[in-house]
Amino acid sequence: MENPFNDDYFMKRALQEAELAFEKGEIPVGAVIVVADKIIARGHNATEMLHDVTAHAEMQSITAAANYLGSKYLKDCTLYVTLEPCQMCAGALYWSQISKVVFGARDENRGFMTMGGKLHPKTTLVSGVMAEESADLMKRFFVSRRK
């Protein structure tokens, strides 16, 4: 029997988080952190609501996962996030020593790869998972803001 838990499955859960951000007027980025095919943390952007520039989906998820595990290190964990992490989030992911990062759409302007950031040498990076769906959500958000 095929394992239903794959990158698309978990990215869909991250997209659900991004939709929640959209509904709250936040830039629609969502994230989940998974260990052993179980979601242990969820997050979405909350910078407007919290008046906190660091309240990105990744940061919310990292904190929740660390609390769940009782450890600052996220070894054997995978982050699924709808948009390429920024340099700040990449730095936090670096220090968390997360095992794998999977993102959807590239952020050509503020993504960590464009800005010269890097992940921990032991972190596996996968890009482009459900990229079109992630990018479409971002486009819908910014179109709705311009009206």
Alpha-carbon gap, residue 129 to 28, rounded angstroms: 16
Residue 108 C-beta-side C-alpha neighbours within 13 Å: 2
**pLDDT value, residue 109:** 92
**pLDDT value, residue 17:** 98
**pLDDT value, residue 90:** 97
Block means of pLDDT (10 residues each) for the chain, 147 residues, are 81 98 97 97 97 98 98 97 97 97 96 92 96 96 83
Contacts of 102 (CB under 8 A, 6+ apart): 7, 10, 11, 78, 79, 80, 81, 125, 126, 127, 129
Residues 119 and 144 sit within 8 Å (Cβ to Cβ): no
Lateral strand order in the sheet of 100-105: 38-44, 30-35, 78-83, 100-105, 124-127
Alpha-carbon gap, residue 76 to 116, rounded angstroms: 25
Catalytic residue among 19, 23, 26, 58: 58
Check whether 77 is labelled as a binding-site residue: no
Mark whether 133 is an active-site residue.
no
Check whether 51 is labelled as a binding-site residue: no
Residues 66 and 39 sit within 8 Å (Cβ to Cβ): no
